[in-house]
Structure 1
Amino acid sequence: MTVPPIVALVGPTAAGKTALSLDLAERLGGEIVNTDAMQIYRGMDIGTAKLPPAERRGIPHHLLDLLDVTEPATVAEFQGWARAKIAELRARGATPVLVGGSALYTRAIVDRFDFPGTDQEVRARLEAELAEVGSAVLHRRLAELDPVSAERIEVENGRRVVRALEVIEITGMPFSARLPEQVYADPRTVQVGISIDRDLLESRIAQRVDEMFEAGFVDEVRRLLDVGLADGRTAGRAIGYQQVMAHLAGELTLDEARERTVIATRRFARRQLAWWRNDPRITWVRHDDPDRVEHALAAIGVVE
């Protein structure tokens, strides 16, 4: 039996990755492997744009709804879960189609990437400092020590800021120097990217956020707060969820929470693109190209 390729679909939030992933999985006899850091959490559905089961076209989806919102998750753990699932799918002849908004997670899965160790004492000290002064202060320090990492890590993502500072302290090297090499762990890997004009992307992001709020996003966050979302070291920092929690705490109006979610999502999309723009291995297809599926299949090596 020929071992199927690994197909990784990349591109910014709201560009249309989900629809293309379903099209490719159908044509390839594949199954979807989630690479979104927040879709692994049960109950985080509206705010992560998690595809409802009824809209999955009967295609199996993996690495969704694995954890409660109180449970932390790391890129290293996710790498292990994803690589094990990919190996399982390929062993039975199914093509894994990776899709999700977390660029680091995708790169950690498909590229050669060994995680540096951790130092509990250093980590504890930095986490205590994070709780005392906030992520913005630590992010400014990171920008001085490692501008490349600071550009790629959101100011609000205190957990990743702490991790970057920890690695810098214990290795004496920039965190960015430890990021994945542009060398596939398995040479039978293909990346397909969806390109979209920036103005249209920003408009689609605003529309998506409006639809989230209209679909009951605030109620979703309220339910998750009842089961510990605010204490979740990973889930509690998700874009949109932070802003709605601030609204429910009386710190923001609903309109302010919505607008800040749009701004944060646009900023996140720009960081996503920064990960991919310098990767020559990606074959880009236009989001509105009627032949985008055929172009993607050609890049994968499938000619019909």
Structure 2
Amino acid sequence: MRPLAIIGPTGTGKSALALDVAERLGGEIVNADAMQLYRGMDIGTAKLPVGDRRGIPHHQLDVLEVTETATVARYQRGAAADVERIAAAGSVPIIVGGSMMYIQSLLDEWEFPATDPPVRTKWEQRLAEVGVAALHRELAAVDPAAASSIRATDGRRIVRALEVVELTGKPFAASAPTIGTPRWDTAIVGLDWATAVLDERLAVRTDTMFADGLVDEVRTLLDCGLRDGVTASRALGYAQVIDDLDNGGDGSAAREPTYFGTRRYVRRQRSWFRRDHRINWLDGGAAENVDAVLRIWRHVS
């Protein structure tokens, strides 16, 4: 059974479209949102409650504790196994999400350079010594392209890039996959809206998350070790609430930085996805999107 991927920026309605398509095709959903991998991170990731999933099986949800580190390589292995198991059982795997590297790792069989513990430890110690901004400048000196694509606050990815450069002698981007025929001949659909409309959707989405109890969810997860999670604690919304609580606030001041942070992330997603010529783009507000997706899926490349 040919897989289908429904991808695109945050807040575009991918989950709702995927449910409609899954009902028509007899499909099962494979999550491709990095933060929905975490148990307990529900409100801030807009994870569909079990009761709203219409009885459709979902995979790669709630597979990590917030203290565990999510990695692209780990996701790739688990999600690929899910896709192949679903297809072998005669159902359609429907990959849904907006985490750029996770999606590309799955559809392009990204081969990751092996990690080397001594080298990794060296750069982690360097990070602790000089701080994330200074280490980002060191990365820029040896691999400007990697530095431009990695946020100056993302210490984990800066360390990984420096490790790969040292181990391979090549730029970090050299390990990235080539965009070619997608794995399993997956049909790829992208969902997006006009910028002004999506910005309004993101504002409503952010307000709803805070109204639904995001701050309380963060407080609960802090008791479960969220602060110690390398990746979970940096998730949009969660990081902003933690920062406000740490500065003596009640979490409510995190609403505005969460909204603006999500807008910035959407622009990064668009920039990444628009480079992929294989994506069939649909307007998120179109009434006939389910039929359009089915037509795209039925076409054999």
TM-score bucket of the superposed structures, by smaller chain: over 0.9
Q: TM-score, normalised by structure 1?
A: 0.92
> Residue 204 of structure 1: CA displacement?
1.6
The whole-number CA distance in structure 1 between the counterparts of 2:214 and 2:121 is: 33
Instruction: Tell me the percent identity.
Output: 51
CA deviations over 1:181-201 (Å, ceiling 9, x no partner): 212453421110012111222
Give the match for residue 222 of structure 2: 225
1:205-284 residue pairs with structure 2 within 5 A?
205-250=202-247, 254-284=251-281
Contact 1:32 1:61 in 2 (8 A): yes
Change (3 A) 1:214 1:131: farther
Give the match for residue 159 of structure 2: 162
> Residue 100 of structure 1: CA displacement?
1.4
The whole-number CA distance in structure 1 between the counterparts of 2:21 and 2:152 is: 35
> Residue 162 of structure 1: CA displacement?
1.6
Aligned with 1:137: secondary structure?
A: helix
Change (3 A) 1:147 1:211: farther
Residue of structure 1 aligned with 2:116, choices 110, 119, 123? 119
Change (3 A) 1:274 1:145: farther
CA deviations over 1:250-301 (Å, ceiling 9, x no partner): 2667454211111221111111112110111110111011111111111111
Residue of structure 2 aligned with 1:142, choices 105, 126, 139? 139
Contact 1:71 1:233 in 2 (8 A): yes
Give the match for residue 49 of structure 1: 46
Contact 2:18 2:29 in 1 (8 A): yes
Contact 2:241 2:252 in 1 (8 A): no
The number of equivalent residue pairs is 300
Query: What's the RMSD between the two structures over aligned residues?
Result: 1.9
The whole-number CA distance in structure 1 between the counterparts of 2:110 and 2:39 is: 28
Contact 1:112 1:183 in 2 (8 A): no
> Residue 35 of structure 1: CA displacement?
0.9
Change (3 A) 1:18 1:153: farther
Matched, 1:172 2:169: yes
Give the match for residue 73 of structure 2: 76
Runs of 4 or more above 4 Å deviation: none
Specify every segment of 5 or more residues in structure 2 that has no aligned partner in the other structure, as ranges: none
Residue of structure 2 aligned with 1:294, choices 287, 291, 294? 291
Contact 1:154 1:268 in 2 (8 A): no
Matched, 1:39 2:36: yes
Q: Which moved more, 1:36-45 or 1:164-173?
A: 164-173
Aligned with 2:268: secondary structure?
A: helix
The whole-number CA distance in structure 1 between the counterparts of 2:298 and 2:48 is: 27
The whole-number CA distance in structure 2 between the counterparts of 1:248 and 1:89 is: 42
